[in-house]
């Protein structure tokens, strides 16, 4: 048994958990906590976790018991565990499973509990009443079949998550296998963590599996996890992704790494609308409607195929209308993929209810140490605002200050310095404001990709960047997500979307894919204007990455000119 000195965990009565990283028991304790606690931040020496209702329900949904959670805490705790933690863990976990949702022999959707008082309480809950069809015996509540998802959302808000055992439709069968060798001749197989992700999601096809979210860093191969899930489920599949370029990358990956033929994979986008055994659609086309009060005319795709699996790429971006559509898709297996479940609208509970609980999660730094994603160094460069812009900023209304600070013309000189310094690297300049990016395009005479760039031109430019024909590419926020640029190793962020944590994480993710030279270090530069709201928002944007263990070296522009970021 480990001595108190070597036990790395300190558990506090406010449900926070501190994990010391220096010591032989760190990794074992970290893996233990990941199963039932939410990672709050993970800087160098002390990681902070928190026990929340959602994290404990996620654990319960994977089959973990309160006794196993408590045993894990006791195994690693340096000090005596506060008594209230025992009670709160037991009581919170006990709430999951007290109510079970299942389909009766005659096909009706039923919520059942042995606790008759709990059933009575639910019958009087206003949130639940619109979905109730009656209660015949005080132990069961009949639910409108089409409201399965909405009921689950309501139950989480009430504080009694229902265990969904109503099962899934099998979907039309589809013989999907994994190649041992890709079309390019490379050996292919799932990495250990990818296979564990698939196993956690699919759960051998039982009712306890089949819906949930896998959280892996950018560049760690979330697409491959989906491919593994498709091979396990062997059913017709609908894949939802962020844009047409990402859609075609998905198709290329499927053809390259599975036994599927190209003519078995349909595209449902603004350009083409073909439904095949595997169909890849964009969120944009799904949420298109002629006016804001019109119906979503492409939602019929959810019903036009006999899908046994729906994959949600970048699930943290799921638009509200797709959330609502997903509420009626609970009879189909659902896999969400993301690098971070952070949602700026705080709708993580909806992801839990409608897509499913978090099934697998690996900290970014863990996979970096294992060599599955590139090592990255982050630098924030603070830039002075020119005098004429300072006056403009001082008198501007609040809504205009951010644009003035973000588009600081002094950032151009720093971009030039960094591009010259990294002339042998593959560099992305990423920004939010199109006028700023067009100035950079004109200065560097470099290609640019924005929302108005035709898909075919985007694909041509991305390909040229991958092959090394282009060494510098300027991109707007359209490149934040699901773009495969494996050789990109330098990113210069000139402006962002206010304090968006997930955007910062995704932009760093553009340069995290493993490099051919394992010694290559990715560099992420964020240029912010000193003493303005740009700097304030920069701190907020960095929060998720600093919680993952990344450190930002903060330097002034003078230090950059003197070579201060090249240590």
The full 3-state SS of 196-207, as one line of letters, equals HHHHHHHHHHCC
Mean pLDDT lowest for which of 107-111, 117-121, 363-367, 449-453? 363-367
Looking at the chain, the whole-number percentage of residues with pLDDT higher than 70 is 95
pLDDT for 343 beyond 70:
no
Residue 495's closest CA among 549, 562, 415? 415
* 499 confidence band (pLDDT: 50, 70, 90): low
**Look-up: residue for tokens 């760093």?**
508
Residues 412-416 have a mean pLDDT of 94
* 483 confidence band (pLDDT: 50, 70, 90): low
Q: Could you tell me the pTM of the whole model?
A: 0.82
d(CA 295, CA 37): 40
Mean pLDDT lowest for which of 189-193, 282-286, 319-323, 416-420? 319-323
Residues 69-77 have a mean pLDDT of 96
Residues 209-227 have a mean pLDDT of 89
Phi, psi of 275 (to 5 degrees): -105, 120
462 compared with 226, residue with greater pLDDT: 226
Q: What is the pLDDT of residues 538-555, one digit of tens each?
A: 887 887 777 777 788 899
In order of their start, the domains of the chain are 9-95 (no CATH), 100-164 (3.30.70), 192-362 (3.40.50.300), 371-561 (3.40.50.300)
**Residue 254 corresponds to which tokens in the numbers above?**
């499927």
Confidence (pLDDT) at 481:
65
Confidence (pLDDT) at 54:
87
Confidence (pLDDT) at 384:
94
Confidence (pLDDT) at 105:
84
d(CA 5, CA 23): 9
Q: What is the pLDDT of residues 27-63, one digit of tens each?
A: 889 889 988 998 777 777 888 999 999 889 888 887 8
Residue 58's closest CA among 24, 15, 92? 92
Cβ-Cβ contacts under 8 Å for 457 (sequence gap 6 or more): 449
* 339 confidence band (pLDDT: 50, 70, 90): confident
The rounded mean pLDDT for the chain is: 87
3-class state of residue 425 by DSSP: coil
Residues 94-121 have a mean pLDDT of 89
Q: Provide the CB-side half-sphere exposure for 378 (13 A, CA).
A: 21
Phi, psi of 262 (to 5 degrees): -60, -30
Q: Is residue 503 a contact partner of residue 496, using CB atoms and an 8 Å limit?
A: yes
| 77: β partners | 9
d(CA 535, CA 223): 35
Confidence (pLDDT) at 504:
78
145 to 107, 120, 141, 327: CA distances (angstroms) = 9, 21, 12, 11
pLDDT for 416 beyond 60:
yes
Confidence (pLDDT) at 411:
93
Q: What is the pLDDT of residues 267-277, one digit of tens each?
A: 998 888 999 99
Q: Is residue 200 a contact partner of residue 359, using CB atoms and an 8 Å limit?
A: yes
d(CA 472, CA 426): 6
Confidence (pLDDT) at 337:
93
Task: Name the helix (H) or strand (E) containing 555.
Answer: strand 552-556
User: For the stretch 117-137, what's the b/e string if a residue is b when 16 or more beta carbons lie within 10 angstroms of its beta carbon?
Assistant: ebbeebeeeeebeebbeebee
Residues 361-383 have a mean pLDDT of 85
Confidence (pLDDT) at 567:
45
Confidence (pLDDT) at 69:
97
Quick count: other Cβ atoms within 10 Å of Cβ 105? 5
3-class state of residue 272 by DSSP: coil
263 compared with 165, residue with greater pLDDT: 263
């Amino acid at each position: 048994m480990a001595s108190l000195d070597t036990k790395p965990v300190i558990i506090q009565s406010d449900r926070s958990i501190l994990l010391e990283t220096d010591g032989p028991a760190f990794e074992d304790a970290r893996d233990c906590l990941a199963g039932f606690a939410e990672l709050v931040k993970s800087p160098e020496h002390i990681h902070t976790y928190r026990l929340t209702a959602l994290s404990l329900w996620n654990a319960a949904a994977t089959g973990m018991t309160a006794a196993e959670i408590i045993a894990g805490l006791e195994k690693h705790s340096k000090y005596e565990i506060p008594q209230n933690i025992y009670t709160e863990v037991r009581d919170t976990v006990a709430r999951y499973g007290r109510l079970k949702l299942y389909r009766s022999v005659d096909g009706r959707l039923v919520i059942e509990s042995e606790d008759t008082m709990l059933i009575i309480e639910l019958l009087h809950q206003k949130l639940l009443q619109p979905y109730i069809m009656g209660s015949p015996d005080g132990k069961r509540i009949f639910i409108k079949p089409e409201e399965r998802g909405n009921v689950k959302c309501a139950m989480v808000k009430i504080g009694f998550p229902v265990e969904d055992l109503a099962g899934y439709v099998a979907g039309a069968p589809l013989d999907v296998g994994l190649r041992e060798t890709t079309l390019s001749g490379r050996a292919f197989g799932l990495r250990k963590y990818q296979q564990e992700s698939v196993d956690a999601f699919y759960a051998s096809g039982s009712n306890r599996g089949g819906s949930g979210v896998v959280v892996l860093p950018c560049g760690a191969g979330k697409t491959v996890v989906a491919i593994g899930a498709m091979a396990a489920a062997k059913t017709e599949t609908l894949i939802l992704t962020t844009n047409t370029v990402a859609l075609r990358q998905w198709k290329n990956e499927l053809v390259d790494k599975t036994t599927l033929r190209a003519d078995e994979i349909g595209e449902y986008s603004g350009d083409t609308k073909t439904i095949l055994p595997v169909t890849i659609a964009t969120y944009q086309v799904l949420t298109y409607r002629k006016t804001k009060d019109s119906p979503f005319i492409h939602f019929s795709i959810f019903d036009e195929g006999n899908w046994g699996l729906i994959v949600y790429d970048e699930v943290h971006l799921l638009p509200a209308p797709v959330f609502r559509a997903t509420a009626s898709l609970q009879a189909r297996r659902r896999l969400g993929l993301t690098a971070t479940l952070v949602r700026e609208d705080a709708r993580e509970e909806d992801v839990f209810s409608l897509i499913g609980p978090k099934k697998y999660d690996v900290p970014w730094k863990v996979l970096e140490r294992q060599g599955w994603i590139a090592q990255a160094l982050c630098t924030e460069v603070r830039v002075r605002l020119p005098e004429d812009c300072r006056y403009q900023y001082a008198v501007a209304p609040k809504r205009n200050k951010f644009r003035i600070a973000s588009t600081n013309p002094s950032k151009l000189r720093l971009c030039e310095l960094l591009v010259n310094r990294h002339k042998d690297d593959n560099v992305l300049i990423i920004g939010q404001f199109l006028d700023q990016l067009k100035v950079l395009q004109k200065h560097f005479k470099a290609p640019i990709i924005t929302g108005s760039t035709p898909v075919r031109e985007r694909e041509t430019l991305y390909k040229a960047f991958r092959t090394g024909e282009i060494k510098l590419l300027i991109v707007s926020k359209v490149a934040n997500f699901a773009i495969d640029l494996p050789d990109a190793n330098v990113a210069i962020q000139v402006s962002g979307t206010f304090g968006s944590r997930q955007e910062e994480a995704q932009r760093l993710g553009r340069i995290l894919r493993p490099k051919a030279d394992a010694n290559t270090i990715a560099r992420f530069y964020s240029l912010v204007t000193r003493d303005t709201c740009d700097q304030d928002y920069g701190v907020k944007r960095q929060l998720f990455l600093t919680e993952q263990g990344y450190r930002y070296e903060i330097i002034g522009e003078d230090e950059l000119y003197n070579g201060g970021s090249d240590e």
